[in-house]
Amino acid sequence: MRRSISYAEPKVALAGETKTWKFIFTPGADLPKGARLKFDLSSKGRDFDWEIPQTNLKAKKNLIWLEASGKKALAAKEVFIPEHSLPQFEFILPGDVKAGDPITIFVGSPEDTTDGKGNRAQTNTLRRRPFYLFVDPKGKGEYKETEIFHLDVRGNDLHSIRIIAPSMVTKNQRFDVIVRFEDEFGNLTGKAPEGTLIEFSYEKLRENINWKLFVPETGFINLPNLYFNEPGIYRIQLKNLVTNEIFYSAPIKCFAENQGQLFWGLFHGESLLWDATENIESCLRYQRDEKAIQFFSTSSFESEDETSAENWKAIYSHVSEFNEDERFTTYLGFQWSGSPGSEGLRQIVYLKDSKQLLRKKESKANNLKKIYKSHTPKDFISIPSFTMGSTTFFDFENFTPEYEKVVEIYNAWGSSECTKAEGNLRPIVSKSKNGIKEKPEGSIRRALNQNHRFGFIAGGLDDRGVYSKLFETDQAQYSPGLTGIIAAAQTRDGLMQAIAKRSCYATTGPRIIVGFHIANEPMGSILNTKAKPGLFYNRHITGFIVGTAPVKEIIIIRNGKEYKKMNPNEACFDFVIDDEEPLDKTTLKVKGEEPPFTYYYMRVLQEDEHIAWTSPIWIDLSPPAIVEKKKKV
């Protein structure tokens, strides 16, 4: 019996390329007049997806049509299937097609496509990208046969060079650098003019380094065993000797002595390109290789509509498989949405593999108290998220520090630092009735003023669960955030030990390097005047910022209010401040036996409007020691 044949021409597309694509189907059996063919591009219609064509044969641009048996072009009809907003394209054969006679579906233009009249390919690379053809020989709408066309999407012309390097190193510490040669869409590419050379250099370059790099076919290269022999701020520089373009790495701060390592990643975030629930393997590869982050937690919502049992099994299997110490640290996590106010929205991050998804509909997981009671802090951390959202807010009345070591101060839908009136730089804003507004009860400053103690992290973009309808409103959307953790080692335990000490900070996306100390103690520290009596008279505050752009403003927040503002207007800045106001004049009072306290944190604003927030430092005012007078004998 003859078999059908399906193939695409050309077999390779360049990302974002505009062309006329041919999908050729040779049936293995006769197809009678009236047989139906339905073509599916498998595109979701997003900006980076494969362009959806039109069906009007009079149009000469971005058109889909069919040709068979030498007959004139056959127009397609748009058909829609349930739960899909974009069409598939149906053709009804006007005559018989014999077995072995090719049927060609064209997507593009019947004219020359050099002027951009064709159809645009997707802008992300993908090996064996599928297109589907459903065949109904009887013409009754019963598509029982499926043909698949495959086409490789590869990187386009070399456009930029991205340098992936550590943010913090120690003098003479060896480290590796990854160089990515990318097209205009950020895909790896080896497509550069023949003879292209890239010159490697950096500030204070050692004389014995004189490297010229070729652009490899793989699109990336590893440069091992680099080191700096002097403390300072460095940027690795690569110059394209053909175009004279110069590309820089994010800043690298080299310390004289070990200060720990700075690791970047996300506990809460989603990729528009790869859905973490349906395509977990592709999502993890994308975060590790394309985004070059060092840790990542899954964050699908717990409901069965969002995450099926089968999805969850695939997620925890891949999370375990991808976890690799000192390269890419993965955590199994999910989002749990409770009662606004008393519970709010949580990102629960397990510390071990293959754990159960806690569904709210189940009695043992229908409120946070039950979840915490049936587990221990060694099982997971619970991160309050989007605490100022009107439908997700958390008032911190039931704050549980054993589980809630950190709080999400920012994600792509806004900051929960404070209200807009109080100076929030990226407030939660919507004019629509269906949008989410800010809720002051969930303000992080308000919680800090009530003596709740936690570090700051940032979340990324999210279009699932409670966030799913925000794209359809005028909800303000910002850049995805990023979390920096200063830890001794890039392992699950190492990162969680740092989280427990609140040794972390949040940014709105860029890898801004910051340091914030009081009395030489780092961000996240809890100090007291009993151990350090001098703090009563003076808080010696030091800090540094190594920005990815000039720094417009630095604000030191003390007890929820602006204490000190600096405007350096340069990318790298160090400062020293002495707060000499007596501590008992500045402290916040709390109910119960807890001592009065003062807290400080730093907020950095760059000229490009990106922000960083350090975790706070607390100082407790301990009661003076009571010295009993000796009675005279």
pLDDT for 313: 97
Q: Which residue has the tokens 């023949």?
A: 194
Residue 571 has pLDDT above 80, yes or no: yes
Per the document, the length of the chain is 633
Residue 341 has pLDDT above 80, yes or no: yes
The confidence band for 211, taking pLDDT boundaries of 50, 70 and 90, is confident
pLDDT for 624: 64
Nearest to 294 by CA among 322, 274, 271: 322
Where in 472-616 does DSSP place strands (E)?
482-487, 504-507, 513-518, 521-522, 526-528, 539-558, 561-566, 570-579, 597-606, 611-614
**Token pair of 477, please?**
């959307």
CATH 2.60.40.1930-classified regions of the chain: 160-259
Across 76-90, 269-283, 391-405, 618-632, which has the greatest mean pLDDT? 391-405
pLDDT for 626: 45
Mean pLDDT of the chain: 94
Percent of the chain with pLDDT over 90: 88
pLDDT for 193: 94
5-154 adopts what CATH topology? Immunoglobulin-like (2.60.40)
Measured over the CA atoms of residue 371, residue 376, residue 381 and residue 385, the dihedral's sign is positive
* CA angle (439, 422, 588) in 5-degree steps: 90
Per-residue pLDDT, averaged over 31-47, amounts to: 94
Residue 611 has pLDDT above 90, yes or no: yes
pLDDT for 536: 96
Residue 495 has pLDDT above 90, yes or no: yes
Indicate the range of 70-74, 265-269, 572-576 predicted with least confidence.
70-74
pLDDT for 630: 52
Where in 141-174 does DSSP place strands (E)?
145-154, 160-164, 168-170
pLDDT for 346: 98
Per-residue pLDDT, averaged over 603-612, amounts to: 99
Judge whether 495 and 483 are in contact, CB under 8 Å: no
- The three-state secondary structure class of 72 is coil
Q: Is 434 exposed, middle or buried (0-12, 13-18, 19+ CB in 10 A)?
A: exposed
Task: Tell me how crowded residue 108 is: count the other CB atoms within 10 A of its CB.
Answer: 22
Judge whether 448 and 418 are in contact, CB under 8 Å: no
Task: Report whether CATH 2.60.120.20 matches the domain 160-259.
Answer: no
Nearest to 97 by CA among 30, 143, 1: 30
pLDDT for 591: 82
Indicate the range of 106-120, 241-255, 282-296, 496-510 predicted with least confidence.
106-120
pLDDT for 71: 80
The per-residue pLDDT for range 424-483, each reduced to its tens digit, is 999 999 988 889 999 999 999 999 999 999 999 999 999 999 999 898 789 999 999 999
**Token pair of 528, please?**
């007291």
The confidence band for 627, taking pLDDT boundaries of 50, 70 and 90, is very low
The DSSP H or E segment spanning 500 is: helix 492-500
**Token pair of 351, please?**
């510390």
Residue 375 has pLDDT above 90, yes or no: yes
The per-residue pLDDT for range 40-94, each reduced to its tens digit, is 999 989 899 999 999 999 888 999 999 998 788 999 999 998 878 899 999 999 9
pLDDT for 101: 94
pLDDT for 631: 53
The per-residue pLDDT for range 283-326, each reduced to its tens digit, is 999 999 999 999 999 999 999 999 999 999 999 999 999 999 99
